[in-house]
Structure 1
Amino acid sequence: MLRVAQRVLLCALLGSVSASCPPRCECSEPAHTVKCVSRELRSVPTGIPGYTRNLFITGNQISRIGPESFKGLDNVTTLSLSNNRISEVESHTFAGLRSLRSLDLSNNQLAVIHPEAFTVHNQSLRELNLSRALYNHSSVMDLATSLRWSSLGSLRGLDLSDNSLIYLPSRIFSHLTSLRWLQLSNNSLVAIHNSTFLGLEHLEELDLTLNALRTVPEEGLRELDSLPGTALLLGENPYMCKCGIEPFALWLNRSQGRIRDAEALVCAFPVSMRNTSMLSVGTLTLGCNQRNAGADLALQTSYVFLGIVLGFVGLIFLFVLYLNRKGIKKRVYDMRDACREVWEGYHYRFEIDSGPRLSQVSTSADM
């Protein structure tokens, strides 16, 4: 009878444990883990055990999440919501996750990100993964606002790779003062502008590989120099090795110590320079000085030739004037006499109109 009672008690305990696990999810109390993977869920399931520290809800059909989605989960430290087709994240969605340190929203379709979408009490969040998560370019502005308003002062890592980003709004990371690594690889960034990385004084690694950088102008170089303690990754960009890239090439040689893939940086265009090491690109390789000197010489020659032509035309003009000096003098005298006659006629008419008696005489004479 004792063994039967023990078995009944064990079955009851197992039943209570299984009952505490949401439908279509797998729960492990010893591992403090709950997994709801590829179950075609349309919302975050309810009844997730309070012991949960690692929560994986991935590969489902969830379209939006809000503050009601994660109530009572104070112990969750790792939350993965990847590949769920999430399009909207409301403000304070994760505010109840007081212990949250890692949040994965990769492989979603975020079109609407509310201003305080990533706010977590106690600023416990350390890692935020938004790789392949942004739906379109307009959501970048929503993201910039959310990073500014979500109190992420303790965030250490941010992954924005694979989002087809063409540009980054100014000061987008200015409130992430504790950020240590920033992943921007596999986007379409064409330039680095002033104030893009403002506020990232503690950044340790910046990954800009696989973008659309053809060069980095002086403004971008100053921006990268504002991060002296940051290790940089700049490989696999389509660098255009033509005249004008010399400042970037010189900067690369000067900054080799903190560019981890400096030896692998090569030219992509033009074809004649393809696969040439960026570290070897300079004025001698491109021949820019020689071209500039030749252009200056050609410009100076053209100016001299133009001066000679204008001087010759001027001499011809003066010679023509000299040959026609008598005719020109006669025409000037004729014009002077004509002007004098006209002036005397106007003067005579004015004297008649101004004298009443002369005016009467003139009128009677006309009659």
Structure 2
Amino acid sequence: MTLNPFFVAVVVVFASAVTGCPVLCTCRNQAVDCSGLRLFSVPPDLPLDTRNLSLAHNRITAIPPGYLTCYSELRVLDLRNNSLFELPVGLFWTSKRLSHLDLSYNNFSHVVADMFKEAYSLVHIDLSHNPWLRKVHPQAFRGLVQLQSLDLSYGGLSFLSLEALEGLTGLVTLQIGGNPWVCSCTMEPLLKWLRNRIQRCMSGSEDYGEVCMSV
């Protein structure tokens, strides 16, 4: 029986996507390490069962739309120390299991509304050391009820809306130091909220079932 050449090609491509490792990267135990390779763009193909992806310490300026669509097993995504200034809409559409996301040391200026939409299993987000970060949309973290740790330290924030944090019912650790905060009346709701959470943490009480927070 003669096999259709197109069918053979499809099988070969699929097998390569399942088992192949990007050139120069290291793949082991469902972890793909492409860090420190001076990459200007993301590797085009990853093993489909990738759980841990590190693209840290490169020169990547953009993530293509739909880049993560095929990698529904992804748990950890490390994009620190690149040149990213935005993420494409719908990047996390299939990232239902993503729990740790590191975007530190990049060039983000805004955290837009629903930036992490669909990645509702996120436990940790690191946006620290983005020196141009000036604005966090009030609905930037909407739906992330499992988020426990959020790092917004060492950016360019002068204001942060309380609305951006109120929906994060699982938040335990919030890091916001190292920003040029402007202490005006618009910051009063956030300051009261933080003071209340910190005092409760120091006293050891947990009113209304809330988890105390360290800042």
- The bucket for the TM-score relative to the shorter chain is 0.7 to 0.9
Describe the SS at the equivalent of 1:186.
coil
- 1:125 aligned partner, one-letter code: L
| Residue 252 (structure 1) aligned with residue 208 (structure 2) | no
Check 1:189–1:111 CA distance in 2 against 1; reply closer, same or farther (3 A cut). closer
Describe the SS at the equivalent of 2:98.
coil
Whether the 8 Å CA contact 1:144–1:169 is kept in 2: the answer is no
Q: Matches of 2:140 and 2:81 in 1, distance apart? A: 21
| Candidates 241, 262, 283, aligned match of 2:183 | 241
Describe the SS at the equivalent of 1:247.
helix
Q: Matches of 2:134 and 2:62 in 1, distance apart? A: 25
Tell me how many residue pairs correspond in the alignment: 180
**Radius of gyration: which is bigger?**
1
| Residue 166 (structure 1) aligned with residue 115 (structure 2) | no
Question: Which digits, 9 at most, give the CA deviation of each residue in 1:168-195, with x for residues without a partner?
Answer: 2221101101111111111132232221
Describe the SS at the equivalent of 1:134.
coil
| Residue 194 (structure 1) aligned with residue 138 (structure 2) | yes
Describe the SS at the equivalent of 2:53.
strand
Write 1 or 2 for the structure with the bigger share of helix.
1
Deviation at 1:247, TM superposition (A): 2.6
Q: Matches of 1:213 and 1:114 in 2, distance apart? A: 27
Deviation at 1:132, TM superposition (A): 1.4
Q: Matches of 1:153 and 1:129 in 2, distance apart? A: 16
C-alpha RMSD of the superposition? 2.3
Higher relative contact order (CA 8 A, sep 6+): 2
| Residue 230 (structure 1) aligned with residue 180 (structure 2) | no
- The gaps in structure 2 that reach 5 residues or longer are 1-21, 202-211
Q: Matches of 2:188 and 2:108 in 1, distance apart? A: 27
| Residue 98 (structure 1) aligned with residue 51 (structure 2) | no
TM-score (normalised: structure 2): 0.73
Question: Which digits, 9 at most, give the CA deviation of each residue in 1:150-176, with x for residues without a partner?
Answer: x11111100000112110222110110
Q: Which residue of 1 aligns with 2:150?
A: 206
Whether the 8 Å CA contact 2:90–2:117 is kept in 1: the answer is no
- The gaps in structure 1 that reach 5 residues or longer are 1-42, 46-54, 57-72, 262-367
- 2:119 aligned partner, one-letter code: L
Q: Matches of 1:129 and 1:110 in 2, distance apart? A: 12
Q: Matches of 2:149 and 2:163 in 1, distance apart? A: 17
Q: Matches of 1:194 and 1:243 in 2, distance apart? A: 17
Check 1:169–1:240 CA distance in 2 against 1; reply closer, same or farther (3 A cut). closer
Q: Which residue of 2 aligns with 1:132?
A: 81
1:1-367 mapped onto 2 (5 Å cutoff): 44=23, 56=26, 76-89=29-42, 93-94=45-46, 97-121=47-71, 123-135=72-84, 137=85, 140=86, 143-145=87-89, 147-149=91-93, 151-187=94-130, 188-216=132-160, 220-231=161-172, 232-256=174-198, 257=201, 258-261=212-215
Describe the SS at the equivalent of 2:162.
helix
Q: Percent identity?
A: 30
Check 1:44–1:109 CA distance in 2 against 1; reply closer, same or farther (3 A cut). same
Describe the SS at the equivalent of 2:154.
coil
Q: Which residue of 1 aligns with 2:18?
A: none
Check 1:213–1:114 CA distance in 2 against 1; reply closer, same or farther (3 A cut). closer
Deviation at 1:100, TM superposition (A): 1.8
Deviation at 1:248, TM superposition (A): 2.8
